[in-house]
Amino acid sequence: MAAPGAAGPGAAAPDVLDLWDRSVRDHAARPALVTPHRELSYQDADRLTDGWAAGLAARGAGPGKLVGLAFGDPARTVLGMLAALKAGAGFTVLDDRLPPAARAALVDRTAAAVWLGDGAHAPEGAYAPAGPDTGGGTAAAAALDAARPVRAAAGSDVAYVLFTSGSTGRPKGTVVERDALRRFASAVAERLALTPHDRWLQVASLGFDVLIEEVFPAFAAGAAVVCRKDTRALDAEELHAALGRTRTTVVELSTQYWLEYARWLAARGTTTPAGLRTVVVGGERMDPHPYRAWQARQPAALAHVYGLTECTVSSTFYTGLLPSDAEEVPLGTPLRDVEISIRQGGRPVPDGETGEIHIGGPLLARGFLDDEAATARRFVADPYAAEPGARLYATGDLGRIDADGQLVFLGRVDDQVKIRGHRLEPARVERALCELPGVDQAVVFPDPASGTALWAFTVPADPAAAPLPGEAVRLTGGDRDALVAPLEAQLPDWAVPRVLHRVAVLPKNPHGKVDKRLLSAWAAAQAGPPAGGPVPDRAADTSRDPLEPLESVLALFREVLGAPALGPDDNFFDHGGQSLLAMRLLARLRESDPAAAGLRASALFASPTPRLLAGALAERRASRR
């Protein structure tokens, strides 16, 4: 595959920036970008990013080159994407949550001509232009007013490179071209019927490809992108408040995030804010029950989406009313310019039959950055296409086309799983565990209860350190840290197992595969009696603390984490806790304790054990009295 630096043939029209220019022309005074400090009109955003683009071009950005973005806030990131495209270059976004080693590796791999950013994670020497919130309003934009560089980019030039989860090794940099981005933005704006009156709240992580879907379809329709002040995740209550405060009409949530928000609304007997008309949901399989419950209770409509980074974000949308007898929530029908086929052994099968989902059409990415072998393996020629040179992307997902022409998801061809919206090959984590001293074998899979965190079962290299056969000993303290700390240094947070057990052997099922159900049963048996029953000595000792709130907080920790033996001094994050479970815990606390009103997820970082959190709640009660 040609590197991003390889310019395409002569400049071609139309271009993705034509969509932006049309919105500037037709909706100059309407808001393009809404930040916590101000609204930036299309006209002002256009002038500001023209100035940024001129600065980028002067520093070497241009067609076939990349501009790296490393801002600490979403609004500047969005402006940086526009500025890079105006300079004729593509962009890549550096996720501020990456461990330092992984961050340095991506900076080296992208070989960006210019780094634009002011975040703490920005590479040394990054260019940090004045932004929309540095004071002066329109005058600040005027001070940066400069002629936009002459655009010589072609539709086949790189628009952006975003890195996938790296499910089978190092993250793959997916190269998406300008024409694919243009077609995608137009098609999504069309499917969701976006208008200049829409306001799309940006909530995705900045290194995640959903960011593309939150921004470019809105700009294509003359709508506004609403940005938070930083990249901190919002819990359900904060999300609800932000949707109402910003008069958001469209928001996109991962499947698990949406479920947390739906539970929060149901627990309070309330509905989505009046202005919210559509919630886009995707990333994992959707259970029909909560989908129907939402459609029965909430005024905001659902759009269930399916797609991959390699195919320019979402490829199919389902917006229908789910039939009462449906066993799966459909993935929907393809966008304009997307071709969906179900194949067995590369050959298309009739509608209704099961096979691997293949995606074709002009929205396919060019391929993978610096990995020609992976590009050739996953982006394959379509021998059954009417036009020569047509390509397909083999998704690895199983599906079928139902009688209504809707795509239905039926599982994975391989063992790849989804964790909090990210694709992961468990073997990647298992290999990392087996490279650690003292670990002979390992298996990793999502927790059976929520599927939002990873469990790991390890077999020690020293048989003397192994528990009895049929036992799963949960690792805590230094034993746990010895395995988790090295993983945190090389893997993203969501890919690090938070609950780890040691076993004598990895049991096999009749098919010769690791019996994950049996491992889960061993772990459940070792956990002891259910919450509310007798507590093992290591976990209890609450008798020394007469405060009843500690007992209630401890019970909620156990309930949310599914850990009946959890003790008052056990750390939430050491026992499988993560952002979605933190939202759930705080929601349950607010239901049962008035002192928890207004408590945010950040409180758990300061008080991560039941005893510390109970103490923090006691202080809040005392201050109120």
7 occurs within a structural domain: no
pTM: 0.75
Q: What percent of the chain has pLDDT over 70?
A: 90
Q: Are 398 and 276 in the same domain?
A: yes
- Decide if 414 is inside a domain: no
Mean pLDDT check: name the lowest of 34-48, 95-109, 501-515: 501-515
CATH assignment at residue 617: 1.10.1200.10
Q: What domain range includes position 274?
A: 26-407
Domains contained in the chain, number: 3
Question: Does residue 345 share a domain with residue 277?
Answer: yes
Instruction: Examine the domain organization and report whether 189 and 328 are in the same domain.
Output: yes
Paired tokens of 7: 């310019």
Q: Quick check: 28 and 41 in contact, CB under 8 A?
A: yes
Residue 544 has pLDDT above 50, yes or no: no
- 323's tokens: 């039939």
What is the average pLDDT score of the chain? 86
Please indicate, yes or no, if residue 326 is contained in any of the structural domains: yes
Statement to judge: residues 467 and 565 lie in one domain: no
CB atoms within 10 A of CB 166: 19
Whether residue 447 is found in the same domain as residue 521: yes
User: Whose CA is closest to 55, among 5, 89, 28, 18?
Assistant: 89
Q: Counting Cβ atoms within 10 Å, is residue 247 exposed (0-12), middle (13-18) or buried (19+)?
A: middle
Over 258-316, what HEC string results?
A: HHHHHHHHHHHCCCCCCCCCEEEEECCCCCHHHHHHHHHHCCCEEEEEEECHHHCCEEE
Q: Does residue 399 sit in the same domain as residue 430?
A: no
**Could you give the percent of the chain with pLDDT greater than 90?**
51
My answer on whether 106 and 184 are in the same domain is: yes
**334: in domain:** yes
Same domain, 338 and 481: no
Q: Are 392 and 328 within one domain?
A: yes
The verdict on residue 533 lying in a domain is no
Residue 390 and residue 291 share a domain = yes
**Once rounded to an integer, what is the mean pLDDT over residues 287-309?**
94
Tell me 530's DSSP state. P
In the prediction, which pLDDT does 541 show? 40
Same domain, 154 and 238: yes
Parallel, antiparallel, or unpaired: how do β-strands 314-318 and 391-401 relate? unpaired
pLDDT in tens, 385-431: 888 889 999 998 999 999 999 999 987 777 667 787 777 778 778 88
